[in-house]
Amino acid sequence: MSSVRRTALIAAAVVFAIHLVANPHYGFFRDELYFIICGMHPQLGYVDQPPVVPLLAAFTQLFGHSLVLLRAVPALFAAGGAYVTVMLAAELGGGPFAQVFAAIAFLSAPVLLSFGMKVSTDEVGLWTWPLMVLLAVRLIKGADPRTWLVLGAVAGLSFESKYSVLFFLAALVGGLLLVPQRSIVLNRWFAAACGIALLIALPNFIWQAQNGFPMIELLRAGQNGKNEIAGPGLFLLQELLITGGVLSLVWIAGLAWLCANARFRFLAFTYVLLIAMMIVLHGKHYYPANIYPALFAAGAVAVEGWTSHVRVLRPIAVAVPVLFAIPLVPLALPVLSETQFVAWVKAFHLPVGAGETEPGRDSGSLPGDWADMHGWENFAATVQRVYAALPADQRAKAVAKTSNYGEAAAIAFFAPGVPVISGHNQYYLWGTRGYDGDVLIDVHGDCGASLHLFRATRLAATIRDRWAIHYENNVPVMVCTGIKQPLQALWPGVKDYE
């Protein structure tokens, strides 16, 4: 085994071990519950994501609830990302120092830590985006053109994990077309790679087409009020923050080094094009984040070269950005208890809600993601108690309706005996499940009070949790009986794609 592969394997093992220990704390995240439930209803696509991540999430829960197994999946992709980052540093000409430094930067960047911490559609890109860069670098260096076929397959897999890879691929091809080596794109193997990627992506595209392209409707909703819209200056500042503040100097050095290196300049163009598209299209700050392992690798190579005659500076070059990144770790990994986290934030004066991309998710004492890992079991248990307390004749036709997919998925996961529906995203397409709504447990609703939809309503319970995100605290659970219109007729009005 070569020393490069040995270093890459060690880096992957360390990253996996750290995530395996640090990840499974607090509880299941809202989106994780949703992914699991979606994956338990296998389809070629879903309203708000391709199928790969839901299927992986559901697979981990086949033998019972396990947060450890669930979060081992993003840990594996993070390990794969660390492996490829080391290999990429070596491919760019880096020696042992650059390879180790690249791995340390990968592990220390808050946004990459976060992607490797919980199940999300970004987890697969931790591995596939740097891998596609690695393959492109090898092609630039004269690798067999059939390498394009591998890149095409990886691109297809990435698309089946998250649609935003299309912007990365457009930027990558654009970057290659802007350099003198553009001939590597203008050949039959590149065309074949495009064919492979399209073939892998086709089933999901067909599903989206058959369902009226709901993802486009959802993205429009995000741009029209759901997401915080950042201008160019704020977006670039956010990129610095999510990559570790002082640690971002490493990838900035990498970007400068790539600009000065004619052989690998295409990667600098790729980054600039990708960021420009994200700014113009009002993307969230973390959408392009899986490009940073490649820039960290380039930065590590740059620092190695700049310190080749003053090697005493190398430990400082590594230690300074990492030390500044350490206080940010509890914002990316759930390694502290709730009370310890609050104390940590106060001690380092950290802005808890600074990284939120949606208005209203700043939960006060805990960041939105941490707060959204609390309260779900109690949430489902409360609804289950209300359902169980119904008279037998009412319980036989009762169904719970929730305001969003997180609430619905929590009930489906933790209280599977309670039938649940929702108008939110994929749940809307699953419809009323045959229930007429004559006995409805309205979770986080008011039984349509303004429309006088029911003959009788009552407050059956209120859901409370100290650490839950604020809009999932003090949630009313209403029992509504005697619906005046069939639920099926009302269903188009509950559609909520966002």
pLDDT in tens, 127-186: 999 999 999 999 999 999 999 999 999 999 999 999 999 999 999 999 999 999 999 998
Q: In this predicted model, what pLDDT tens digit does every residue of 92-110 receive, in sequence order?
A: 999 999 999 999 999 999 9
Sequence-ordered list of residues with C-beta below 8 angstroms from that of 20, at least 6 positions apart, any chain: 68, 71, 72, 75
User: Which of 352, 322, 321, 320 has its CA nearest to residue 336?
Assistant: 352
What are the Cα distances from residue 397, in Å, to 176, 293, 349, 415, 464?
A: 60, 53, 52, 17, 27
- Convert 243-273 to b/e letters by CB count within 10 Å (16 or more is b): bbeebbbbbbbbbebbeebeebbbbbbbbbb
More confident residue, 290 or 366: 290
* 337 contacts 375 by C-beta, under 8 angstroms: no
Q: Give the angle 12-13-16 at the CA atoms, nearest 5°.
A: 85
User: Structure tokens of 309?
Assistant: 């005659």
- Burial class of residue 113, CB neighbours in 10 A (0-12, 13-18, 19+): buried
**Confidence (pLDDT) at 22:** 96
**pLDDT surpassing 80 at residue 234:** yes
Dump pLDDT digits (tens) for 439-478. Answer: 999 999 999 888 899 999 999 999 999 899 989 999 999 9
Q: What confidence score (pLDDT) does residue 360 get?
A: 54
Q: Is the pLDDT of residue 64 over 90?
A: yes
Q: pLDDT tens across 379-388, in order?
A: 999 999 999 9
The average confidence (pLDDT) of the chain is 93
Evaluate whether 440 touches 450 at the Cβ level (below 8 Å): no
201 touches 256 (CB < 8 A): no
pLDDT confidence tier of residue 59, bands split at 50, 70 and 90: very high
Residue 97 contacts residue 145 (beta carbons within 8 Å): no
Q: Could you identify the residue written with the tokens 């203008």?
A: 186
Q: Which whole number is the average pLDDT over 282-286? A: 90
pLDDT at residue 230, as a whole number: 72
Tell me what the mean pLDDT of segment 269-295 comes to. Answer: 95
Write out the H or E segment, with its range, that includes residue 422.
Answer: strand 420-422
Cβ of 491: how many Cβ atoms within 10 Å?
A: 15
Please check the confidence at residue 294 and state whether its pLDDT lies above 80: yes
Tens digit of pLDDT for each residue in 77-96? 999 999 999 999 999 999 99
What pLDDT band is residue 321 in, cutting at 50, 70 and 90? confident
Q: What is the mean pLDDT of residues 249-265?
A: 97
pLDDT the model gives residue 464? 93
- Inter-axis angle of helices 292-306 and 125-140, to 10 degrees? 50
Nearest alpha-carbon partner for 204 in 51, 406, 332, 56: 51
Per-residue tokens: 311: 């090697």
What pLDDT is recorded for position 362?
Answer: 54
For residue 352, pLDDT over 70 is answered with no
Beta pairing, strands 475-483 & 454-463: antiparallel
CB of 325 closer than 8 Å to CB of 284? no
Closest CA to 23 of 284, 494, 370: 370
Q: Which of 306-310, 364-368, 466-470 has the lowest mean pLDDT?
A: 364-368
| pLDDT tens, residue by residue, 398-447 | 999 999 999 999 999 999 999 999 999 999 999 999 999 999 999 999 99
The CB-based long-range contact list for 94-100 (8 Å cut-off, 24+ gap) reads 94/297, 94/300, 94/301, 94/304, 95/304, 96/3, 96/7, 97/300, 97/304, 97/314, 98/297, 98/300, 98/301, 98/303, 98/304, 99/4, 99/7, 99/8, 99/11, 99/300, 100/7, 100/11
**pLDDT the model gives residue 213:** 92
pLDDT interval class at 348 (50, 70, 90): confident
Token pair, residue 184, equals 């590597």
Band (pLDDT 50/70/90 cuts) for residue 222 is low
Alpha carbon 152 to chain centroid distance? 22
Helix, strand, coil percentages in the chain from 3-state DSSP, rounded to 5? 60, 5, 30
Quote the percentage of the chain above a pLDDT of 90: 84
Q: Positive or negative CA dihedral for 411, 413, 418, 424?
A: positive
Q: How many CB atoms are closer than 10 A to CB 308?
A: 11
For range 210-227, the mean pLDDT: 78
